[in-house]
Structure 1
Amino acid sequence: MLEPSHNDELPVIPGKRYFTIGEVSELCAVKPHVLRYWEQEFPQLKPVKRRGNRRYYQRQDVMTIRQIRSLLYDQGFTIGGARLQMSSETSQTDINQFSQLVNQMIGELEQVLKVLKSR
């Protein structure tokens, strides 16, 4: 098992689609029982569950776990503080994506208006 370390010392995430809890434990230097606990505390963590309730994490889950680990272990956040930080970052990302979508729609509507005016 890897010792807790800074994110820049964690192993490279292999190019696989799914990872077992044991693999994620190694990749993120976090014990499996901690991963199961974080699933309850962080709504962003939702591994796919298959036969026998086995968890399969995707690459995005591994990256999210590394982010949570950094907030808790490196930056000293509490679980509640890390949860707030994660949700505010998610909100900001959602706002940026929404803003891009609105701007794209405005551009498309302006093109439609131009076509209608030229008739």
Structure 2
Amino acid sequence: MQTPDLKQPDLPAIPNKRYFTIGEVSVLCEIKTHVLRYWEQEFEQINPVKRNNRRYYQQQEVLLLRQIKSLLYEQGYTISGAKHWFTSQQGSDENFRYKELLRQTISELESILVTLKKR
């Protein structure tokens, strides 16, 4: 199976912060908020913290949402196919931990790149 492009240069860099509101995630992923809420119901991997009736996403969830977007909109997967892709990719705990570490590293590098571009 083909791995989605985690870089996605056409999307804004993810700032180095712990939590993002649904509005911020919508901008970062270029996805409407109602689509994000729908994907939460469909993909168990997306589970934002909910406080005072607000959603707060972490960086890893933003990366997962970008991955879902790539699978659905760029690679032509169906929702069912994308779920299956995640299930097959997360089959082994070691593989999953490696991918999480990779996602965090990419996020940190994107943040560094944004900082360097400002200089």
TM-score normalized by structure 1? 0.72
Paired residue type of 1:87: T
Aligned to 1:55: 55
| Residues 96 and 28 of structure 1: CA distance in aligned 2, closer, same or farther (over 3 Å) | closer
Equivalences, count: 91
Which of the two has greater helix per residue?
A: 1
Large movers: runs of 4+ above 3 Å? 95-98
Partner Cα separation in structure 1 for residue 79 and residue 55 of structure 2: 22
Paired residue type of 1:45: I
Q: Computing the radius of gyration over CA atoms, which structure comes out larger, 1 or 2?
A: 1
Paired residue type of 2:57: Y
- Which consecutive unaligned segments of at least 5 residues does structure 2 have? 1-6, 98-119
Q: 1:56 Cα deviation (Å)?
A: 0.1
Paired residue type of 2:72: L
Equivalent pairs: percent with the same residue? 62
Q: Is residue 22 from structure 1 mapped to residue 23 from structure 2 by the alignment? A: yes
Higher relative contact order (CA 8 A, sep 6+): 2
TM-score normalized by structure 2? 0.72
- Which consecutive unaligned segments of at least 5 residues does structure 1 have? 1-5, 99-119
